[in-house]
Structure 1
Amino acid sequence: MNKPFISLRPEITRSHAFTLMDWMEDERVTRYLSDSSSVSRFISQAVDRAQMPILTHLFNQGGRFFMAYDRDDRPVGFVRLVKTGADCEIVLVVGEHDNWGQGLGGSTIREGLKLAFLDMRAENVIAKIHPSNVRSLKGFERCGFHLQRETPTLNSLSLNAGRYLQLLRDGVMADSPEIYVTEIDKARLQSLLAIEDETPQADLEHEIERAIVVEPQRVSGDVVTMNSRVVLRLDDEKQEVALVYPQDADARDRKLSVLSDLGTAILGFQEGDAVDWMVADRTRRIRIEKVVYQPESSGDLHL
């Protein structure tokens, strides 16, 4: 059985806004939202004020807003992240009642945390939840949140960056199979991320942090390491690519930068692994068919 999959996307269209309004009119959805009336009013005003097809800029006033999509690229909810100083409050809704209880909430929380900690660089993420909303409370607790403050009408839960990174390294936050990165590759990739600091690469940093780090001489020969050449299946399309650093990328020679969607997606996986990943704004199923060449197993440790 496939694990739940969620991708968060920042573009908000008028169609999305009408979908959001439908969700906010469902009492089952808004029952525990303390600001449901203000959210509904905000969405309605955004639609009325602007006749343009893209409303992203309106929804990102005072915070960052994302639509949550399932693996079939259907919008199933939303996430709002509001950063104040070092703290970031997360608000999320799974809007389709039929999707409740399928694990989408947990996946949505984990994707929101990735953005809050690795993109927005929050030191703490706060979730404020009604005490009767047992499903949400359990979902956040399973993702590592601890109760910070409790009142008759609101429970405040928090998770700090240090604990988040530790949970990543312990494998608690992963919806995908384990991945492996060599010590040398990790050091080089971290240096690359430091250079790219002005344009955060949350997905790549997330993968590096959760990876099991191994010595180059001990990495299995069927693992996709840097400068490996791999046969993969992208949905139904079979292709052979090389995973390289940005300066070596060459589309004509099928050399994929590790900073690209597909490049980040295949890093560290093994032959036979499959993962859902957002590539060029839509969800793709990626399967590693064969590692044709791997520097470490070929003795090319200088690469």
Structure 2
Amino acid sequence: MNRPFVSLCPEITRADALTLMDWLEDECVTRHLSDSRHVSRFVEQVIGRVQLPILTHLFNQGGRFFMAYDRHDARVGFVRLVKSGPDCEMVLVIGDRHNWGRKLGAAAIREGMKLAFLDMRAEKLIARIHPDNARSLKAFERCGFLPENQTPALTSLAMNSERYRRLLREAPAGHAAEIHITEIDKDRLSTLVAFAQDPAVFELEHEIERAIVVDPEQVPRDVVTMNSTALLQLDDEEVEVTLVYPEDADRSAGKLSVSSGIGTAILGYREGDALDWRMPDRTRRIRIGKVLYQPEAAGHFHL
């Protein structure tokens, strides 16, 4: 429960913009932000001239903008991703000084990497940081970024797609708790991802990339594999669900698609595991209470 958690939300509201203005008025926050004056002026103009409740389209001009939330759905910062050719640049701000030191920056960077490499398909992700901004430099280095070049005004760190995927496989615990999937499930799910039309499927791809792959006959009996039925605790609600492929999904029967929010979240976790997962409207706490049926444990390897 103490693991730092950050989710990135693409919808930007007027309330978000007002919070941004508060952050950007703090000199400690903007001291090392290279485009702080431009951002402040832009946000001020938006608030003054546009009376719409949703401002996402305005903030996404020239890049993609995300508000960062903690596990309690409180705004803690923002991430901006700007793609130019095969490369992408990340700008990250943890806006409230009271949140500094909670390692939320590293958590936000990992979410930004997921979007840059698996959703935006960048080949390289770059962070340009003021040399005196030791906290940001440390956070990016902790996430695996390597020095690229340095000037008196900026230190450039970079991560390429190949290194990102390798780090996911070699050090999955650096991103989240370990999960397990069978070789058969991985092959089927990788095919699903390759042909999926749902833009949110990159979340499933991320889970496949970081999973520990095991032989179907050796997967622990308490792991949620494909076509498993499990008893979950969703916040304060107990529900029974079966994890299925999209074509078999039927919410009224408790059959959840693996490409849905909760479906992707529970894949590969074991009895007793608990995690936070951002749904479209809020963050939910999910606990795997009991695996009631697992095909591999029952010898049903054809499923």
Aligned match of 1:16 = 16
Secondary structure at the residue paired with 1:121?
coil
Aligned match of 2:264 = 264
Q: Does 1:81 align with 2:81?
A: yes
Aligned match of 1:39 = 39
Unpaired segments ≥5 residues, structure 2? none
Number of aligned residue pairs: 303
CA distance in 1, matches of 2:11, 2:173: 25
Within-5 A mapping of 1:244-255: 244-255=244-255
Aligned match of 1:285 = 285
Secondary structure at the residue paired with 1:201?
helix
CA distance in 1, matches of 2:3, 2:19: 25
CA distance in 1, matches of 2:198, 2:291: 33
Q: Does 1:140 align with 2:140?
A: yes
CA distance in 2, matches of 1:250, 1:83: 38
Unpaired segments ≥5 residues, structure 1? none
CA distance in 2, matches of 1:139, 1:279: 26
Aligned match of 2:106 = 106
CA distance in 2, matches of 1:174, 1:278: 19
CA distance in 2, matches of 1:173, 1:271: 18
* Maintained 8 Å contact 1:181/1:211: yes
CA distance in 2, matches of 1:247, 1:289: 26
Please list the CA deviations of residues 1-47 of structure 1 after superposition, one character each: whole Å capped at 9, or x if unmatched.
52010000011111110100110010010010111111101111122
Cα gap change, 1:173 to 1:85, in 2 (>3 Å): farther
Aligned match of 1:193 = 193
- 1:174 deviates by 3.9
- 1:281 deviates by 2.2
* Maintained 8 Å contact 2:172/2:211: no
Within-5 A mapping of 1:70-219: 70-172=70-172, 174-196=174-196, 199=199, 201-219=201-219
* Maintained 8 Å contact 2:172/2:178: no
Within-5 A mapping of 1:42-61: 42-61=42-61
Aligned match of 1:25 = 25
Aligned partner of 1:156: which letter?
A: S
CA distance in 2, matches of 1:169, 1:217: 21
Runs (4 or more) in structure 1 with deviation over 4 Å come to none
- 1:228 deviates by 0.1
Secondary structure at the residue paired with 2:153?
coil
Within-5 A mapping of 1:62-73: 62-73=62-73
Q: CA RMSD in A?
A: 1.1
Secondary structure at the residue paired with 1:232?
strand
Secondary structure at the residue paired with 1:81?
strand
Aligned partner of 1:144: which letter?
A: G
- 1:198 deviates by 6.5
CA distance in 1, matches of 2:122, 2:51: 34
Please list the CA deviations of residues 238-277 of structure 1 after superposition, one character each: whole Å capped at 9, or x if unmatched.
1110000000000111000001000000000000000000
Secondary structure at the residue paired with 2:46?
helix
CA distance in 2, matches of 1:72, 1:198: 27
CA distance in 1, matches of 2:197, 2:152: 42
Aligned partner of 2:275: which letter?
A: V
- 1:147 deviates by 0.8
Cα gap change, 1:224 to 1:198, in 2 (>3 Å): closer
* Maintained 8 Å contact 1:143/1:173: no
Aligned match of 1:232 = 232
CA distance in 2, matches of 1:63, 1:92: 13
Aligned match of 2:298 = 298
- 1:58 deviates by 0.2
